[in-house]
Structure 1
Amino acid sequence: MSESTPRTPSADAPDGEVLSVPGPGVLDESEIGRFIAWLAAERGLTFSDYDGLWQWSVTDLEGFWSAVWEFFDVRPHTEPTATLGRRSMPDTEWFPGSTLNYAEHALRRIGADGTEHDDSDVAVVAHSQTREPVELTFGELREQVGRARAGLLRLGVRKGDRVVAYLPNIPETLVAFLATASIGAIWAACAPEFGPRSVVDRFAQLEPKVLLTVAGYRFGEKDVDRRAEVAEIAAQLPTVQHVVHVPYGANELPDTLGWGELLAEPGAAVFEPVPFDHPLFVLFSSGTTGIPKAIVHRHGGILLEHLKNNALSWDLKPGDRMLWFSTTAWMLWNTLVSSLLVRASIVMIDGNPVHPDLRAQWRIAEETGATLMGVSPGYLMACRKAGVRPAEEFDLSRLRQLGAAGSPLAAEGFRWVAEQFGDQVLLNVGCGGTDVCTGILQGSPLQTVRAGEISGPCLGVAAYAFDSKGERVVGELGELVITEPMPSMPVGFWGDTDGARYRAAYFEEFPGVWRHGDWVRFAEEGHCVVAGRSDATLNRGGVRLGTAEFYAVVEDLPEIEDSLVVHIEDPEGGNGELLLFVSGPAELDDALRKKIAVALRTALSPRHVPDVVARVPLIPRNRTGKKLEVPVKRILLGSTPESVASKDVLADPRSLDSFVAYAAERAATAANATGSTAGSAS
């Protein structure tokens, strides 16, 4: 919202009470208001509020998504024969017969509003702890993409080939991604803080032809050398024919092609027409068993969904600027990049987001003139506790919307934002995922904000809560489901030729309905609260971590026979508590705890280091051998063992006993405020 459209905040509201409502000028000033006006003029459809617009968007799928296509002036090379071919999930067919290219729409001079724009408009502002700030105009970005495209073609990259990046959130990464997409090749990225095992587990699935990488970077005051890791990764990717070194920091990377060499020759920014379903990029979501799932997203689906999300929910338009700290491995990086689709510019941040202090992100928002700033709920709560007053301390007069995603935000966080910004800023708390690469539940300028709650389902997302019988529930916790298809639902998983893994991941429990894996409670009016994960995937500070990755590292240690990891969420949106239980003959002493921590930090990342390591005599499994992470987590949260798992399904009926004892010990410790949870659960 702009300053001329007050939202009537109430900073002392209890949980669930209205904090602000849309002001009287919202329909005239917002992109969602412009969309509603267009629907009235072009389609004869009138909507007076968000609820009516949402209901139409999830019942008339052809009408809504064709309207998104037309409103944002999507320009295909080949026109579609229909909006929707097959409707049933998971085999939905969108815009059959069409060909287009995502990168072409990100770099075109004619914006999504139909207006021709100047190439001198700033597209990218990059802030880093490794080098001085970098700025690129749309014209400079297009030129570099053309050069990178020509360089990739010289390396033999063609439509359908895979290009992977071990790169931070810097302009070169953006250039390489758009160049890859322009060819019709397929992109995937891992952040350079990932250890070799994590990277190879992901990239090896794709059999890439080209690897782009840095040799190191700076994180706060620390210089991080990644040359050994790059060598190990490259050695384990036998299909890689070329390694391209992006200079970043002081380290050189011998026997590689330099970024300057890749971009040495000019080339036109030409765009290969590809079918709507052609893979654009692969995102990796760590599951509970096996290697991370390689989720394949399509050109057309991401184009349409991100046009809709970034404009109608985030209210981005030409001249706006989006800042949202993200690594290249998170789906929010892809969504950040897509702000270019609506001719908004982006701020790329690399390094420690709280260096040199907690105010760093607010400072960058002031320097760059951000109109949309995205942060983690944990960051907002930390600023609140530290007494930061962003609206007073910094010139954030351009800021209209503050996004928060990755984990739940406590009601106190909502109230703090209202206290700081008043009617200037819309707080938009969302819940989405790598799986659909967008928001599922979110706000918009047309929705009410309530303390501690998400405003409701996004346009085009038929999100509800189901009980175990597959029936819709309101006012109680249930599984978050999506009952109608979305264009950004993935093509499938890479290598899953018959679609069996894809169906098992999302459609096994409720056939024909997408089960997302979150617990959610909806009010009758549509606003909702997400209570955390309903499966065993971990969510630490908004970053999902797969249990299988933990086990591969921990159980490779000779002292460990078996292990189980669970995450207890922080109700205030922080990192929560990561607990690792191990079994084996070795004594669990400080030396072994340190060895486990070093192994996880080195092979995976610092986020994987547990807060507590405890010994148990036996790791619980069911009769098919599956570890029972979710039952253990529920026991630690206070459930009885009988309510979380029948003894009939346990391989050993005694296997949960030690966790019941450990949970009682934790509860007693908390009650006595002794402040210590370390020790043994045996």
Structure 2
Amino acid sequence: MTHTADAPEVLWRPEPSHVADTKIEAFRQWLRAERGVEVDDYRSLWEFSVDRGPEFWTAVADFLGVRWHDQPGEVLSGEMPNAVWFEGGTLNYAEHALTPGVAGAAKGDDETAVIFHREDGFADHLTYGELRAQVGAARAALLELGVGKGDRVVALAPNCPQTLVAFLAAASIGAIWSSCSPDFGVRAVADRFVQIEPKVLFAVNAYAYNGRQFDIRTTVADLQAKLPSLAATVLVQYVGEGRMDGALDWAELLAKHEGAPLLFEPVEFAHPLWVLYSSGTTGLPKGIVHGHGGITLEHLKALALQTDLGPGDRFFWFSTTGWMMWNFLISGLLVGTTIVLYDGSPGHPDLNALWHLAEQHRVTYFGTSAPFIQSCLKAGIKPAERYDLTALRALGSTGAPLSVEGFRWIVNEVGRKVQICSVSGGT
């Protein structure tokens, strides 16, 4: 396509028939019918969201089916930094992730919730029914360990189903979650976790990366010594065998509480859900707190309206638990999407690993980082030539700005019909 200085080259444009079937189009029509709001294109919808914020967010909550326990009163009161959203409203993030019918998603017991692959070939999957049962058991275990609303539960663990279950169990109680990737050193983890005084530490015995196994039990023991607030450490036999003195066994805990009911503690809109951290390049990493209400609403909006994900989709993003894209990926459950978790090196045995995964599981939305795209480009990888990627409709890139060559490589080597979503750049 030819282009001039003032008319940029268009790499992708949606088919009109596709636009008509999107959730964002359904939202526009709903606004007109239910709220009398005329927004006839993306720009006018964006202006509505900015100019009439409280009205927009109420509409998002109503359209996407937020489940309130106590109905909120005033949508927005006060000024920053003391602004209060949805005053008096109570809800729970985990309920939105796990309950059928919430946010318009079916989430039947036999529908696949999680597909998991580890680089050493280990694979697993969980239905929504199995996920609910495991979260119920993990919740009962955390309660037995004395965890209550507002207590902190932390994890030194990879992007695997056990970490997801532990997080959802903590969230269901109203406990506050924080996680680091198991490749972090003791100091990097302590710099983050010491600040929030956790009650329970969830960890793995070892992890696999780039063809090797790394036992991290000494790291876990060193960490225990630096966290005097800990009431318990729970260890997952994740890679190989390897128990630890003074640590409870994850599988035994779940077995003990098998069949426990899955309940959800209603919490205030701003009640903390998890703590993320700044990169720590200028002094200690700074805690970034996200609330149940804010994340439930923002992720429903981002995943349903902006990413157009829902039941039947397969959502993948390459991430570790130390990066906020993990938090975004697991929120795919909010909209009833099957989430695809991968733990390992994206370049092992070579840079085709993740593209092979996309073919295997008919991934519809493939998320990665701009540096990964750059690496594939430099290595001459040709995914569409080697793999069946016909299920893929969108590719997300983040972590750094995507280069012009990166955009072109996606069009040429992944597919002309694939929407390129360069969603942000850098921390």
Same fold (TM > 0.5): yes
What CA deviation, in whole Å up to 9, does each residue of 1:204-259 have, x standing for no partner? 11111100111111112111121211111111111111110011112413221000
**Partner letter of residue 190 of structure 1?**
C
Where does residue 32 of structure 1 map in the other structure?
24
Where does residue 100 of structure 1 map in the other structure?
91
**Partner letter of residue 58 of structure 1?**
V
Contact map agreement 1:277 1:299 (CA 8 A) in 2:
yes
Structure ID, larger Rg = 1
Where does residue 197 of structure 2 map in the other structure?
207
Q: Would you say 1:56 and 2:48 are equivalent positions?
A: yes
**Partner letter of residue 96 of structure 1?**
E
Where does residue 148 of structure 1 map in the other structure?
138
Bigger helix fraction: 2
Contact map agreement 1:26 1:33 (CA 8 A) in 2:
no
The alpha-carbon distance between structure 1 residues 390 and 28, as it changes in their structure 2 partners (threshold 3 A), is: same
Moved more, 412-421 or 180-189: 412-421
CA apart distance, 1:341: 0.3
Among candidates 391, 396, 401, match of residue 408 of structure 1:
401
Higher relative contact order by CA 8 Å / sep ≥ 6: 1 or 2?
2
Among candidates 306, 309, 315, match of residue 308 of structure 2:
315
CA apart distance, 1:354: 1.1
**Partner letter of residue 94 of structure 1?**
W
CA apart distance, 1:53: 0.8
CA apart distance, 1:390: 1.5
**Partner letter of residue 389 of structure 1?**
K
1:325-344 pair list within 5 angstroms = 325-344=318-337
Contact map agreement 1:225 1:251 (CA 8 A) in 2:
no
Where does residue 166 of structure 2 map in the other structure?
176
CA apart distance, 1:166: 0.4
- The aligned length equals 423
Where does residue 518 of structure 1 map in the other structure?
none
Q: Report the TM-score, using the length of structure 2 for normalisation.
A: 0.95
Among candidates 60, 64, 82, match of residue 68 of structure 1:
60
Q: SS state of the match for residue 347, structure 1?
A: strand
The alpha-carbon distance between structure 1 residues 422 and 290, as it changes in their structure 2 partners (threshold 3 A), is: closer
The alpha-carbon distance between structure 1 residues 396 and 91, as it changes in their structure 2 partners (threshold 3 A), is: same
CA distance in 2, matches of 1:309, 1:11: 33
Contact map agreement 1:216 1:248 (CA 8 A) in 2:
yes
Where does residue 77 of structure 2 map in the other structure?
85
Where does residue 379 of structure 1 map in the other structure?
372
CA distance in 2, matches of 1:315, 1:423: 19
1:156-175 pair list within 5 angstroms = 156-175=146-165
**Partner letter of residue 182 of structure 2?**
P
Where does residue 264 of structure 2 map in the other structure?
271
Q: SS state of the match for residue 85, structure 2?
A: coil
Contact map agreement 2:382 2:414 (CA 8 A) in 1:
no
The alpha-carbon distance between structure 1 residues 238 and 13, as it changes in their structure 2 partners (threshold 3 A), is: farther
CA distance in 1, matches of 2:102, 2:311: 8
What CA deviation, in whole Å up to 9, does each residue of 1:382-427 have, x standing for no partner? 2222222212211111111100001011111112212234442100
Where does residue 44 of structure 1 map in the other structure?
36
**Partner letter of residue 73 of structure 2?**
T
What CA deviation, in whole Å up to 9, does each residue of 1:282-313 have, x standing for no partner? 00113444311111110000000000001122
CA distance in 1, matches of 2:76, 2:29: 24
Q: SS state of the match for residue 242, structure 2?
A: coil
Contact map agreement 2:66 2:102 (CA 8 A) in 1:
no
Where does residue 21 of structure 1 map in the other structure?
13
Where does residue 247 of structure 1 map in the other structure?
237
CA distance in 1, matches of 2:69, 2:358: 38
CA distance in 2, matches of 1:131, 1:145: 25
Contact map agreement 1:130 1:249 (CA 8 A) in 2:
no
Contact map agreement 2:120 2:211 (CA 8 A) in 1:
no
**Runs of 5+ unmatched residues, structure 1:** 1-9, 432-529, 531-541, 545-682
Q: Report the TM-score, using the length of structure 1 for normalisation.
A: 0.60
**Partner letter of residue 21 of structure 1?**
R
CA distance in 2, matches of 1:296, 1:195: 23
Contact map agreement 1:13 1:415 (CA 8 A) in 2:
no
CA distance in 2, matches of 1:41, 1:294: 42
